[in-house]
Chains A and B, each alone.
Chain A
């Protein structure tokens, strides 16, 4: 399985942008890059995903490197409610490879008022 590497923790100030990096140097051509976050005492929730092009939704933006070996989740204006653990995972599109998923430990984001 292709694995991802994320920093253990990051800090930000409220209302500032946050860039959360993820390295996935062994990504295959059909792997989608997914981001989830887990707020304290809750189950993980979906944030965004992409394949090759940058993606935007109401929660965040996803910037994918041209060689796809890394990606960055961008929170444009961090709020206190964005304090969570952020997970970057790969989900393979080839055959049944989308089934097995490895989450890793994620990045703990702390947002200061």
Chain B
């Protein structure tokens, strides 16, 4: 089944403890992206990747890192999480280009205490 998977789905952590949220897709998509969703603010793009080893900032990249070493994986790294990064995170992927739909993962709910 074609899908985008995220792990973990739920995570409670403490301020400053490094964490990684994994994202993997099995559709051979070149493009992958991370979003966060907060009440009243909608979906905001954090980082995106056009292809392996190519990443760029979205609208809210501060406090996050990403890497794209393989085509199928696009992990989101929080080196020193803070409470304002408590949010619902979505990963998405698509073929390369504007004429293709994005497929979204199920989301990761992160709480930073």
Contacts and interface: CB of A to CB of B under 8 A. Distances in A.
Nearest to B31: A99
Q: Is chain A's binding surface mostly helix, strand, loop or mixed?
A: loop
A96 B55 CA distance: 11
Contacts of A99: 31, 33, 48, 50, 56
Interface residues of B, number: 27
A34 B101 contact: yes
B98 A105 contact: no
Interface in B60-113: 90, 92, 96-99, 101-107
A103 B103 contact: no
Interface residues of A, number: 27
Given A32-B98, A102-B59, A46 B42 contact: no
Interface of B: 31, 33, 35, 40-45, 48, 50, 56, 58-59, 90, 92, 96-99, 101-107
A98 B40 CA distance: 25
Given A43-B105, A99-B31, 4 more contacts: A44-B102, A91-B98, A100-B48, A101-B33
Interface in A35-69: 36, 42-46, 49, 51
